[in-house]
Amino acid sequence: MAAPQTVSRPEYDEPVENSPFSWRAILEIVQALALAVVISVVLNLFVVQVTEVRQRSMEVTLLQNDRVLVSKLDYRFGSPQRGDIIVFNPPPAVDASIPYVKRVIALGGDTIDLRDGKVYVNGKVVEFAETRGQPTTPQAATVRFPFTVPQGDVFVLGDNRQFSSDSRTFGSVPDQNIIGKVILRFCPPDRLIFFEW
């Protein structure tokens, strides 16, 4: 009688336990975070930035503590236009460490005058519904009207004319001081609005 044959079972490798600590996984996380930071910095420097409104000078268009999205691309490919809401660094004469938010009223070469509480640009009355008919009066003796805006500057006013420190106080704003154009108010969410591009 033949001896019973032994069937050899295939050998299987023992399952390797996953190590709870992996340098490769940590490296991938660090790379992803670094890429996110670089993208965020590039966007903030050259494309858009978020700004919090700190003053009351643009009420009721923009309220204090509103958050807005500012486009930095608009003025790389074009120039400011009358009616644009811009964020800019105030001139050195102004003792302020935060950017201002105001509306562009006149451009380089325009002549602006304030008479009887009204704003005239090149002899024509300029009104914006957002100002709600507030009288616009001079603020400082150093800015005399009629005032011709130098080329490469803009003349800005706050929509809340009686509570705004603007070009009536510190004069026109050089284009290079402009950070960008406000394109969106997104916070608080119930006041979300896109402004015209």
Average pLDDT over residues 98-107: 94
Candidate from 50-54, 91-95, 148-152 with smallest mean pLDDT: 91-95
What are the backbone dihedrals phi and psi of residue 124, each rounded to the nearest 5 degrees, phi first? Answer: -110, 140
The whole-angstrom separation of Cα 86 and Cα 107 is 13
Annotated catalytic residue, options 72, 102, 164, 167: 102
Containing H/E element for 112?
Answer: strand 111-115
Is 118 a catalytic site residue?
no
Q: First and final CA of the chain: distance in angstroms?
A: 98
Give the C-alpha distances (Å, rounded to integers) separating 152 from 120, 132, 161, 172, 181.
20, 29, 24, 10, 16
Name the least confident of 28-32, 44-48, 141-145, 164-168: 44-48
46-194 CATH pick, 2.60.120.620, 2.60.40.10, 2.10.109.10, 3.40.50.620:
2.10.109.10
Residue 135 or 197, more confident? 135
Listed by start position, the domains of the chain span: 46-194
Write the CA distances from 81 to 7, 9, 55, 168, 182, integer angstroms: 89, 83, 22, 19, 12
Active site residue: 57, 164, 167, 172, which one? Answer: 57
pLDDT at 74: 80
Are the beta carbons of 63 and 39 closer than 8 angstroms?
no
For residue 32, pLDDT beyond 90: no
pLDDT computed for residue 92 by the predictor: 78
More confident: 100 or 25: 100
- 97 among known catalytic residues: no
Read off the pLDDT of residues 123-157 as tens digits, 9 standing for 90 and up.
999 988 788 778 899 988 889 999 999 999 999 99
Average pLDDT over residues 29-57: 74
